[in-house]
């Protein structure tokens, strides 16, 4: 399961990258707004920091297919290969996906709330489709279930498209999709950090350390023996 950071906070991205096995970064216009700086400059900083080959997902904001394609070309020129053009699912967006796919450009269909939006985007050539799990929960649907259904539909139709589940509020939502074999998730730094936190683990580490010190001496490690 590809695991991406849904953030444009460079400090937070660097921290997560230091400790976690991460495949890239996803952004959207709201995330870039929260970063509080020039969006393209920040995206370039993220690209420059990430390891070679990491995915960077960047969203277009134009409302016609022709303009979306121009934006996509500009984004790729500025940010280089392994940049995925995120396009919301609406008629002009789907038209742009079809054309960009023919041009060999990587596409992530985003703002997905229904399985059929995902299916049509996949058929139009999207490599990833991004259902908004928690936002679905917030409006009375089961976001995890919809993301699972999309995964099953894509699998049954042998489509060359993965679910990139987005919009998580908690680790349980991530677990439920991981268990289902979903292709990719993107989550905020705080949700990612929670994936490895457990009070019992911290307590076990503390006990092991104290036991070792009691037998080998304070602040000793195996290197001292």
Catalytic residues: 86
Site string (139-168) toward ligand G3P, x via CB under 6 A: ---------------------------xx-
Strands (E), the chain: 2-6, 24-26, 55-59, 83-88, 107-112, 128-131, 162-165, 184-187
CA pair distance 113, 47, nearest whole angstrom: 29
Binding of residue 171 to ligand G3P (CB under 6 A): no
What's the CA gap between 7 and 189, in Å, rounded? Answer: 7
Report the distance separating Cα 214 and Cα 18, nearest Å: 32
Instruction: Please state the closest distance from residue 97 (CB atom) to ligand G3P, in A.
Output: 17
Nearer to ligand G3P, 122 or 129 (CB): 129
Among 92, 134, 171, 194, binds ligand G3P (CB under 6 A): 134
Tell me whether residue 194 or residue 212 sits nearer to ligand G3P (CB atom). Answer: 194
Which residue's Cβ has the minimum distance to ligand G3P?
167
Q: Which residue has 């990612």 as its token pair? A: 192
Rounded Cα distance, 225 and 150, in Å: 55
In the chain, what are the helix, strand and coil shares in percent, each to the nearest 5?
55, 15, 30
135 binds ligand G3P (CB under 6 A): yes
132 touching ligand G3P, by CB under 6 A: yes
Neighbours of 74 (CB within 10 A): 12
What is the per-residue binding string for ligand G3P in 28-67, x denoting contact by CB under 6 A?
x--x------------------------------------
Binding region for ligand G3P (CB under 6 A): 6, 26, 28, 31, 132, 134-135, 166-167
């Amino acid at each position: 399961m590809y695991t991406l950071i849904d953030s444009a906070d460079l400090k937070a991205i660097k921290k997560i990258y230091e400790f976690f096995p991460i495949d890239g970064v996803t952004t959207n216009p709201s995330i870039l707004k929260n970063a509080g700086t020039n969006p393209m400059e920040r995206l370039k900083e993220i690209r420059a920091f990430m390891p070679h080959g990491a995915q960077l997902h960047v969203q277009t904001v134009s409302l016609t297919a022709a303009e979306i394609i121009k934006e996509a070309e500009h984004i790729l020129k500025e940010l280089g290969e392994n940049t995925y053009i995120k396009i919301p699912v609406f008629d002009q967006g789907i038209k742009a996906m079809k054309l960009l796919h023919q041009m060999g450009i990587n596409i992530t269909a985003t703002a997905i709330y229904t399985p059929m939006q995902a299916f049509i985007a996949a058929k139009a050539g999207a490599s990833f489709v991004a259902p908004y799990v928690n936002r679905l929960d917030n409006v009375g649907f089961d976001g995890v279930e919809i993301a699972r259904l999309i995964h099953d539909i894509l699998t049954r139709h042998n489509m060359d498209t993965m679910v990139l589940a987005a919009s998580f509020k908690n680790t349980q939502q991530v677990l439920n999709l991981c268990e289902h074999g979903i292709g990719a998730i993107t989550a905020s730094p705080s949700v990612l950090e929670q994936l490895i936190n457990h009070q019992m683990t911290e307590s076990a580490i503390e006990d092991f350390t104290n036991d070792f010190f009691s037998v080998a001496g304070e602040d000793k490690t195996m290197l001292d023996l």
